[in-house]
Amino acid sequence: MGARMRLTSVETVHEEGSWLFTARDRNGEDEEVILVPCEDGVAAWINRCTHEAQPFDIGRGAPIRNGELICPRHGSMFDTCSGDCDNGPAADTTLPSVDVEVEDGTVYLTDDDFDYLREGGGGTDEDGEDGNDGPDSTSHISF
């Protein structure tokens, strides 16, 4: 498990605001992982809020404002670089990280607990749609 795998460029993550991929963990479970911009490159987090496991990115990019990843359901905000949350229902939690490295502007998956499967989310339903219409928001935060 965990062979070094080229993902994308730092430039792409910064231009698009986030980059989603799917990886398989040690238990054989598929996990969506999101790359987000940081001051010194990128960070990688499991693509779900620690409060109710709501996905941040459902295939249209993650909601990020002022260096914070925002849960679209309840509005908890996580620092994109540290994964820490100090507000909302997810306060005092930290997003589960995935190890990546940047070399010459390219982002590589280097986490021994994950094998890269594909760019994008977890798959499609029988209609060919992404199968995730996203959460019903109860957040007070507007975009």
Q: Is the pLDDT of residue 134 over 60?
A: no
At 1, list the tokens. 């498990």
Residue 77 forms part of a structural domain: yes
In this structure, what CATH number is given to the domain that contains residue 25?
A: 2.102.10.10
Residue 21 forms part of a structural domain: yes
User: What's the Cα-to-Cα distance from 80 to each of 32, 56, 65, 75, 114, rounded to whole Å?
Assistant: 16, 12, 10, 14, 21
Name the residue range of residue 18's domain: 5-118
Q: Please enumerate in sequence order all residues whose Cβ is within 8 A of that of 64, keeping only pairs 6 or more positions apart, or say none.
A: 17, 18, 36, 37, 70, 80
Q: What is the pTM of this model?
A: 0.84
CA distance 89 to 27: 28
- Residue range 32-72, pLDDT digits in tens: 999 999 988 999 999 999 998 899 999 899 999 999 999 99
Residue 123 confidence class, pLDDT cut points 50, 70, 90: low
